[in-house]
Structure 1
């Protein structure tokens, strides 16, 4: 099954027009060597080799920024498959759309030497036609964003074919599809209103030049929200239950916390977790009695009608 990616082509997407005219997507990240023989399937192996090279050229960058940059370079060069669809903003409220048609190639002397051939469509997708959730994901900070979870909506937008069947989660751990749908929107609400939440009093959403704290990528899936304490001493992994089985969400947040501790946190930073759910969940509470460093929050939905 093909995947869908939003790709930024240079800072501020400055190379988008050139890439569309010449039929490719590309990246640089100050890595000037041919990667043809240096693209393992596992991006972590790639990062281990190229993070030191990136930091040697960019000594002022953090370990996190280096990891995100190298991870994005691996995704563009290796992770995206032939047949996958890429979207890239044209800086005028629309997105170029194309299908990846070629494997990795190195073009020495180019501003974006690490390239993939792309057959760009004539039609563009209007940002205003996207759902709010897709707009947020397609507009997230970072070089590459996997937006495949909006596959059906994107197919409708790209092919202009009406699709009336509601989106249904294929995650076997989802127990309540209604709550799953509600909490997908809650994630966007939390981002938009972060400063007004209790977590926003002590933490800011994590942000770098390459990524935002929403849907932060890991090797076992994206974290719903990643935040950092205002004193920069703590990273906070936030997961919405999204109708999933309690044991599944506790195990998942523990895996994410392990990843953040190993691959994102600096030596002086600690890692904690938060699970947010609609109902007071006894199974989660019992699991958290023996799980260190994870808090549980319950949210309420309030609805008012105001006559005008």
Structure 2
């Protein structure tokens, strides 16, 4: 099955035109060694070996940053397959589009030494032509984002067709598609208004110059929002219910928290969780009675008409 990825080519797309002219995508991350024989099928094995190497080159970085960067590097070098499609922003509102044509190669001394050959199409995609959901996914901070769920829209855009609106999710755990659609926008609202929320008084959304704690990758799926306390002592996992079954949400956040505790958090950091939903949910509240490190928040949607 063909997969689609958004790949940033350097900070601020600084290498995008060079990569297009020379027919490749690439990455760096301060790991200056040939990875040809260092790319296991399981990204966790790669991270276990290379997080210490990354931190040695970047002593001021956190394990969160190291985990993200190593995960992105493994994705560029290993997970993306021949025949997959990549979109890379040009820094001016358009996306170059190409098909991956080779396995990993290492080019010593290059600005982006970890490379994959790509056949770039003549067609580009203008960001303004994308649906709002696709713009959010392709505009997220981070080197790589998986955007295969927008395959139908992307194939249409590559052919020059206008996007079709999509509301319903195919996720079998979704009980209420309408709430699911609403809460996709809630994530955007929380990200942009975090400082005004109760959570924003104690926590900051994790962010550095290259990554942000939104759709943070784990081995059981992406965390909606990853935050860290202002004193850096607590890592917070935030999950939106998104119309899903209550038991599914509770189990998911516990798995995410377990991953963060085992793989990402520093020795001095604890892990807490927050579930956010539109309505009170007795099943979630019952489950959280025996999970004191997870809190439940309900949000309200208000709509006013103001005569002017």
Partner in structure 1 of residue 75 of structure 2: 75
Partner in structure 2 of residue 131 of structure 1: 131
Using the TM superposition, give the Cα deviation of residue 271 of structure 1 relative to its aligned residue in structure 2, in angstroms: 0.8
| Superimposed CA distance per residue, residues 213-254 of structure 1 (whole angstroms, 9 cap, x where no aligned partner) | 211111111101111111211111111101111000000000
Tell me, yes or no, if structure 1 residue 21 matches structure 2 residue 33.
no
| Alignment CA distance shift 1:92-1:165 (3 Å) | closer
Partner in structure 2 of residue 263 of structure 1: 263
Partner in structure 1 of residue 106 of structure 2: 106
Q: Is 1:226–1:236's contact at 8 Å kept on the other side of the alignment?
A: yes
- Provide runs of 4+ in structure 1 moved above 6 Å: none
Using the TM superposition, give the Cα deviation of residue 59 of structure 1 relative to its aligned residue in structure 2, in angstroms: 2.5
Tell me, yes or no, if structure 1 residue 185 matches structure 2 residue 185.
yes
Using the TM superposition, give the Cα deviation of residue 174 of structure 1 relative to its aligned residue in structure 2, in angstroms: 0.9
Using the TM superposition, give the Cα deviation of residue 108 of structure 1 relative to its aligned residue in structure 2, in angstroms: 2.2
Partner in structure 1 of residue 244 of structure 2: 244
Partner in structure 2 of residue 254 of structure 1: 254
Partner in structure 1 of residue 304 of structure 2: 304
Alpha-carbon distance in 2 for matches of 1:206, 1:51 = 18
Alpha-carbon distance in 1 for matches of 2:195, 2:58 = 32
- The total of aligned residue pairs comes to 308
Alpha-carbon distance in 1 for matches of 2:37, 2:229 = 40
Using the TM superposition, give the Cα deviation of residue 152 of structure 1 relative to its aligned residue in structure 2, in angstroms: 2.9
Moved more, 103-112 or 150-159: 150-159
Q: Is 2:72–2:144's contact at 8 Å kept on the other side of the alignment?
A: yes
Name the SS for the 2:122 alignment partner.
coil
Alpha-carbon distance in 2 for matches of 1:163, 1:11 = 28
Moved more, 4-13 or 266-275: 4-13
Q: Is 1:142–1:211's contact at 8 Å kept on the other side of the alignment?
A: yes
Alpha-carbon distance in 2 for matches of 1:240, 1:12 = 30
Partner in structure 2 of residue 278 of structure 1: 278
TM-score, normalised with respect to structure 1: 0.95
Alpha-carbon distance in 1 for matches of 2:166, 2:93 = 26
Name the SS for the 2:65 alignment partner.
helix
Alpha-carbon distance in 1 for matches of 2:253, 2:240 = 10
Moved more, 60-69 or 211-220: 60-69
Alpha-carbon distance in 2 for matches of 1:150, 1:159 = 14
> What CA RMSD, in Å, does the superposition of the two structures yield over aligned residues?
1.6
Partner in structure 1 of residue 143 of structure 2: 143
TM-score, normalised with respect to structure 2: 0.95
Q: Is 1:26–1:114's contact at 8 Å kept on the other side of the alignment?
A: yes
Moved more, 114-123 or 101-110: 101-110
Moved more, 236-245 or 80-89: 80-89
Q: Is 1:68–1:210's contact at 8 Å kept on the other side of the alignment?
A: no
Name the SS for the 1:271 alignment partner.
strand
Partner in structure 2 of residue 5 of structure 1: 5
| Alignment CA distance shift 1:140-1:164 (3 Å) | closer
| Alignment CA distance shift 1:188-1:278 (3 Å) | same
Q: Describe how 1:160-199 pairs up with structure 2 within 5 A.
A: 160-162=160-162, 164=164, 166-199=166-199
Moved more, 7-16 or 273-282: 7-16
| Superimposed CA distance per residue, residues 169-210 of structure 1 (whole angstroms, 9 cap, x where no aligned partner) | 121111111111111111111111111111112211111233
